[in-house]
Homo-oligomer: A and B are copies of this chain.
Amino acid sequence: MASLDKILVAKLKEHSRLSGEDVAVIRGFSHSIRELVPDEDFIRQGDDPDVSAVVISGWVARYHLLPNGPRQYLSFHMAGDWPDAQALFLDRMDHAVCAISAAQVACIPHKEIIKAFELRPPIGFAIWRETLIDAAIFREAITNNSARSKPARMAHLFCELFYRARAGGLVRENELTLPISLPQFGETLGMAIATINRTLSELRASRTMDFRTGLLTVRDWPKLCVIGQFDPGYLHLKRPPR
């Protein structure tokens, strides 16, 4: 079973430098593990949590709940991600976080994290940077859903998830377990399910990727990036994967 400290330190080091002392403080974070079943919310819109969750395994998603009932998915998160870091300094959650597969999250008390910031500012800067990369991903999603063609939109999402997962070591043989359903893609990309499916067939026909039953297979990475207009700069990772 993966442990919090390894996953978290590895993730922060993808973009930030941490000294031995910093790492020691992070490793000392007390936490409890929470097991989640698919579709289980662990933070709801309006909550004011006093613990912060780091994903240990599985996938989680953030979403807005719309007045009429449906959702708008905002981002997807894998092991090492910190999907509710912004709750450290914002009182009420403006969106919800749910598991989209079976997942484990580690819950760390806010107080402990804040204390670490005051003790060792670089830890704060690293986590701040994490939230800033989050924001960059949101910006890219605005552009993706507003300015790109439907196939580019979908390809870009696949590129981003694949790239991030590869950086986190979750990709084997160009395959990535991605438990997202077509209706969920629809509520992510702002497209009707029928269009999602037709666009997906189109992408399959381009022989750049395949996606079936929660498994993403990338067959021609450079070409897929071209279709999706994907440039990973906005992810601000120090060392690109591979």
Q: Are the C-beta atoms of B64 and A143 separated by less than 8 Å?
A: yes
The contact of A74 among B64, B129, B139, by CB within 8 Å, is B139
If over half of A's interface residues share one DSSP class (helix, strand or loop), that class is named, otherwise mixed; here it is: helix
A91 beta carbon closer than 8 Å to chain B: yes
The contact of A64 among B72, B91, B139, by CB within 8 Å, is B139
Q: Are the C-beta atoms of B91 and A236 separated by less than 8 Å?
A: yes
Contacts of A105-155 to chain B: CB distance below 8 A: 117-118, 121, 124-125, 128-129, 131-136, 138-143, 145-147
Q: Are the C-beta atoms of B129 and A95 separated by less than 8 Å?
A: no
The contact of A131 among B70, B121, B131, B236, by CB within 8 Å, is B131
Least distance between A206 CB and chain B CB atoms (Å): 18
Q: Specify which chain B residues have a CB less than 8 angstroms from the CB of A189 in the assembled complex.
A: 146
Contacts of A181-205 to chain B: CB distance below 8 A: 187, 189-190
Q: Specify which chain B residues have a CB less than 8 angstroms from the CB of A133 in the assembled complex.
A: 90
A208 beta carbon closer than 8 Å to chain B: no
A62 to B141, CA, bound (A): 14
Q: Specify which chain B residues have a CB less than 8 angstroms from the CB of A187 in the assembled complex.
A: 147
Q: Specify which chain B residues have a CB less than 8 angstroms from the CB of A125 in the assembled complex.
A: 89, 117
Show the binding face of A for B, using Cβ within 8 Å.
46, 62, 64, 66-67, 70, 72, 74, 86, 89-92, 94-95, 117-118, 121, 124-125, 128-129, 131-136, 138-143, 145-147, 187, 189-190, 229, 233-234, 236
* 7 sampled A-B residue pairs with Cβ under 8 A: A66-B229, A70-B147, A72-B146, A91-B236, A94-B136, A94-B139, A145-B145
The 10 closest A-B pairs by CB, nearest first: A146-B190, A138-B138, A94-B234, A135-B135, A72-B143, A72-B147, A89-B129, A145-B146, A86-B132, A64-B143
Given A70-B147, A86-B135, 7 further pairs, Cβ under 8 A: A67-B229, A89-B129, A90-B129, A90-B133, A124-B124, A141-B142, A147-B187
